[in-house]
Amino acid sequence: MIEIPVKTASEYSVFIENQPINDLFQKIISFVGNKKYIVVISEKVEKLYGKLLPFDKSVKFILKDGEKEKNFSNCIKILEFAMKNKLTRFDAIISVGGGVAGDLAGFASSIYMRGIDFIQVPTTLLACVDSSAGGKTAVNTKFGKNLAGTFYQPRVVFINPKFLKTLDDRQYKTGLGEVVKYAFIEKSCQCNEEFNLINFLSENTDKIFERDEKILKRLIEICIRLKVSVVEKDEKENGLRRILNFGHTYAHAVEKITNYKKYTHGETVAEGIKFAFELALQKNLIDKNYKYFAFDLIKKFNFREIEKYDTAKLAQIMRLDKKSDGKKIKFILPSDYSRAEELEIGIDEITAF
Ligand code: GLY
């Protein structure tokens, strides 16, 4: 078992262990102890693993899958379900699922009686490598994704790569979009350990596609250690943490223009990374060999092709991004091998690009 301590204002650990799902269930139960709890569980996970995760029916809130479920209406339902179960502020909410379940249950936990313990059990690759740790919670609004949310760290994260065996290919690949992001920003994460994730990805591509348990465990560990290093230094995203948005500004614009329906998040992140490399090349931050190298690595993961959208239209969406003041946008661009930095780019410049 790997334990990664997270030293944020409230400290907790991320545990990574390949273990039978029922053993994980016992761990969750013993962690919760004698607190009351409810479990927000993704419908798919409930169907596949419900028998191995025998939480009482009365405490299960089964959440339909899909980004559109991450909304205020479901948040209110979760809060009321917790009230119906008579949870006090000393009890707990457990999330078992992907990023949607985690972000939504985390948001509900952060406001339930002004904050209740929150336990994350991620079951998708994207949630394992990125969203389950670090304390970002959110719901979507009709104006865009994650526009309401809080920073609220979980009390513990239990990661079990065994869940990933049954993930459908597209969902699995969307997680790889975030993994590739970590490879290109590794050196900027200021972690005191060196992993060379770029090499790890090149050398283990086949095993990653085969979902080899050992390789997946190591891959998740590397991404979480990089993320934790960043989050510990900048928990509330006032500076360094913004590098985790590498590829995301473009990705959010494409997701919005396509109504969050056509592509998965990771597919758009992979395209956003390519866009950032092109922009960095134009600004002479990198040379063309590094760009070709990066494109080759991304190609190995065979992400779904993204249609080319009018940059003027995308730029208008970026103008409304959380990282924009309306005229300029804080863009994360590659600056050297495995490094990225933040640059302010004019919306006009992006329109013209
Ligand atoms: N997913 C990016 C972050 O947690 O900051």
User: What would the pLDDT profile of 219-265 be if each residue is shown by its tens digit?
Assistant: 999 999 999 999 999 999 999 999 999 999 999 999 999 988 899 99
Selected from 3.40.50.1970, 3.40.50.1820, 3.30.2130.10, 3.40.50.300, the CATH number assigned to the domain covering 2-166 reads 3.40.50.1970
User: Looking at ligand 1, which atom is closest to the CA of residue 244?
Assistant: 2
For residue 332, with 0-12 CB atoms within 10 Å meaning exposed, 13-18 middle and 19 or more buried, which class applies? buried
318 or 303, higher pLDDT: 303
Looking at residue 24, the DSSP 8-state letter turns out to be H
Phi-psi region of 269 (alpha: psi -120 to 50; beta: other; left: phi over 0): alpha
Q: What is the pLDDT of residues 145-199, one digit of tens each?
A: 899 999 999 999 999 999 999 999 999 999 999 999 999 999 999 999 999 999 9
Q: What is the pLDDT of residues 37-77, one digit of tens each?
A: 999 999 999 999 999 999 999 999 999 999 889 999 999 99
pTM of the model: 0.96
CA of 51 to the centre of ligand 1 (A): 32
User: Looking at ligand 1, which atom is closest to the CA of residue 241?
Assistant: 5
Q: Which CATH homologous superfamily contains domain 173-352?
A: Dehydroquinate synthase-like - alpha domain (1.20.1090.10)
Q: What is the pLDDT of residues 265-278, one digit of tens each?
A: 999 999 999 999 99
Radius of gyration of the chain from its Cα atoms, rounded to whole angstroms? 20
Does pLDDT of 326 surpass 80?
Answer: no
- If pLDDT is split at 50, 70 and 90, which confidence band does 209 have? very high
Produce one character per residue of 22-48: b if its CB has 16 or more CB atoms within 10 Å, e if not: eebbebbeebbeeeebbbbbbbbbbeb
User: Looking at ligand 1, which atom is closest to the CA of residue 231?
Assistant: 5
Does pLDDT of 323 surpass 80?
Answer: no
What is the residue-averaged pLDDT of the chain? 95
Q: Please state the domain extents for the chain.
A: 2-166, 173-352
> Can you tell me the mean pLDDT for 286-301?
97
> Can you tell me the mean pLDDT for 129-143?
95
CA-proximal residue: ligand 1, atom 2 (nearest): 244
Q: Is residue 178 within 8 Å of residue 126, measured between CB atoms? A: yes
- Written as one string, the DSSP assignment of 44-68 is HHHHHHTTTS---GGGEEEEPPSGG
